Chains A and B, each alone.
Chain A
Amino acid sequence: MLRQASRLLARPPRLAARARPFSTDLPAADQTADATFTEAWNKVIPNIDPPKTPLSFMQPRPPTPSSIPSKLTVNFVLPYASALATKEVDMVIVPATTGQMGVLPGHVATIAELKPGVLSVHEGNEVTKYFVSSGFVFIHANSFADIIAVEAVPLDQLDANLVQKGLAEFTLKLSSATTDLEKAEAQIGIDVHSALNSALTG
Chain B
Amino acid sequence: MAALRREGRRFAPLISPRPITAVRSSPIAPTHEDEGPIGVRYISTQVVRNRMKSVKNIQKITKAMKMVAASKLRAVQTKAENSRGLWQPFTALLGDLPSVDVKKSVVVTISSDKGLCGGINSTSVKISKGIHKLNSGPEKETKYVILGEKAKAQLIRDSKKDIELIITELQKNPLNYTQVSVLADEILKNVEFDALRIVFNKFHSVVSFVPTVSTVLSPEIVEREAESGGKLGDLDNYEVEGGETKGEILQNLAEFQFSCVMFNAVLENACSEQGARMSAMDSSSRNAGDMLDRLTLTYNRTRQASITTELIEIISGASALEG
Q: How far is the CB of A34 from the nearest CB of chain B, in Å?
A: 7
Q: Is the interface of A mostly helix, strand, loop or mixed?
A: mixed
In chain A between 1 and 56, which residues have their CB closer than 8 angstroms to a CB of chain B?
1, 3-4, 33-34, 36-37, 40-41, 44-45, 48, 51-55
Contacts of A1 in B (CB 8 A): 119
Are the C-beta atoms of A111 and B239 separated by less than 8 Å? Answer: yes
State whether the Cβ of A113 lies closer than 8 Å to any Cβ in chain B: yes
Contacts of A78 in B (CB 8 A): 86
State whether the Cβ of B240 lies closer than 8 Å to any Cβ in chain A: yes
State whether the Cβ of B39 lies closer than 8 Å to any Cβ in chain A: no
Contacts of A4 in B (CB 8 A): 118-119
Asked, given contacts A75-B85, A111-B249, whether A53 binds B214 with beta carbons under 8 Å apart, the answer is yes
Contact digits for A140-170, partner B, Cβ 8 Å, 1 yes 0 no: 1100101010100000000000000000000
Contacts of A81 in B (CB 8 A): 82
Band of interface residues on A: 35 or more
Most chain A beta-carbon neighbours within 10 Å: one of B89, B96, B97, B238: B89
Most chain A beta-carbon neighbours within 10 Å: one of B98, B118, B134: B98
Are the C-beta atoms of A75 and B88 separated by less than 8 Å? Answer: yes
Q: How far is the CB of B140 from the nearest CB of chain A, in Å?
A: 13
Q: Which of A85, A108, A140 interacts with B85 by CB under 8 Å?
A: A85
Are the C-beta atoms of A108 and B256 separated by less than 8 Å? Answer: no
Are the C-beta atoms of B92 and A101 separated by less than 8 Å? Answer: no
Q: How far is the CB of B251 from the nearest CB of chain A, in Å?
A: 11
Are the C-beta atoms of A150 and B177 separated by less than 8 Å? Answer: yes
Residue of B nearest to A36 (CB): B99
Contacts of B17 in A (CB 8 A): none
Are the C-beta atoms of A40 and B127 separated by less than 8 Å? Answer: no
Asked, given contacts A79-B260, A85-B85, whether A113 binds B243 with beta carbons under 8 Å apart, the answer is yes
In chain B between 75 and 91, which residues have their CB closer than 8 angstroms to a CB of chain A?
79, 82-83, 85-91
Separation of A96 and B241 alpha carbons in the complex (Å): 8
Q: How far is the CB of B98 from the nearest CB of chain A, in Å?
A: 4
State whether the Cβ of B213 lies closer than 8 Å to any Cβ in chain A: yes
Q: Which of A33, A77, A79, A140 interacts with B98 by CB under 8 Å?
A: A33
Q: Which of A55, A77, A110 interacts with B89 by CB under 8 Å?
A: A77
Contacts of B83 in A (CB 8 A): 79-80
Separation of A45 and B98 alpha carbons in the complex (Å): 15
18 further A-B pairs in the complex, CB-CB below 8 A; given A45-B130, A111-B239: A33-B95, A33-B97, A48-B130, A52-B202, A52-B213, A54-B87, A54-B91, A55-B96, A75-B88, A77-B86, A79-B86, A80-B79, A96-B242, A97-B243, A98-B242, A111-B241, A140-B93, A148-B89
List residues of A whose CB falls within 8 A of some B CB.
1, 3-4, 33-34, 36-37, 40-41, 44-45, 48, 51-55, 57-58, 61, 75, 77-82, 85, 96-98, 101, 108-113, 135-136, 138, 140-141, 144, 146, 148, 150
Q: Which 8 A-B pairs have the closest CB atoms?
A: A146-B89, A97-B242, A82-B85, A112-B241, A79-B177, A77-B85, A37-B99, A36-B99
